[in-house]
């Protein structure tokens, strides 16, 4: 597993906290920025993370902004991205189990840094259940 991580200025501190945790767990990742808390445009970082997943450079993404909404909206424009805005552990787990989400979006303004890591753990280590859930996923991109 290789993780792509990115944030805007509103999620920068949370992203840095998550990076420290990833380092402590020796989990491989690519950091696509931002690299400070100076104001930036969130779509730039959502695109970088999603393109790294679509190119198979990475297979899981983490995006953080103030509310998470902008990152989720941008990410879900990609055909093979299933971004889930998660603000607690259960939503993160079920997003993986039932929706096979491959991008975790966190609302940095509304959760603590410690909560972000707890949510991430449930997201990373939950397995997609397949079956009836795969049938439903197959319906998403139909015309």
b/e code 55-86 from CB counts within 10 Å (16+ = b): eeebebbbbbbbbbebbbebbbebeebbbbbb
DSSP state of 9: G
| Residue 91 tokens, joined | 């939503």
**HSE (CB half, 13 Å, CA atoms) of 97?**
9
Rounded to 5 degrees, φ, ψ at 31 are: -95, 115
Alpha-carbon distances of 16 from 11, 39, 81, 135, rounded to whole Å: 9, 16, 23, 37
Calpha distance 135→11 (Å, rounded):
34
Q: Is 98 a catalytic residue?
A: yes
User: Catalytic residues, which ones?
Assistant: 98
């Amino acid at each position: 597993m290789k993780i792509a991580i990115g944030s805007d200025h509103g999620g920068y501190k949370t992203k840095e906290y998550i990076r420290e945790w990833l380092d402590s767990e020796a989990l491989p990742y690519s950091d696509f920025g931002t690299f400070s808390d100076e104001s930036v445009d969130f779509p730039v970082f959502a695109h970088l993370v999603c393109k790294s997943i679509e190119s198979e450079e990475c297979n899981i993404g983490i995006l953080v902004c103030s509310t998470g909404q902008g990152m989720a909206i941008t990410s879900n424009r990609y055909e093979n991205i299933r971004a889930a805005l998660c603000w607690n552990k259960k939503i993160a787990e079920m997003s993986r189990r039932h929706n096979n989400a491959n991008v975790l979006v966190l609302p940095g303004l509304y959760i603590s840094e410690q909560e972000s890591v707890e949510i991430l753990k449930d997201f990373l280590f939950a397995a997609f259940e397949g079956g009836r859930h795969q049938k439903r996923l197959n319906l998403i991109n139909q015309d």
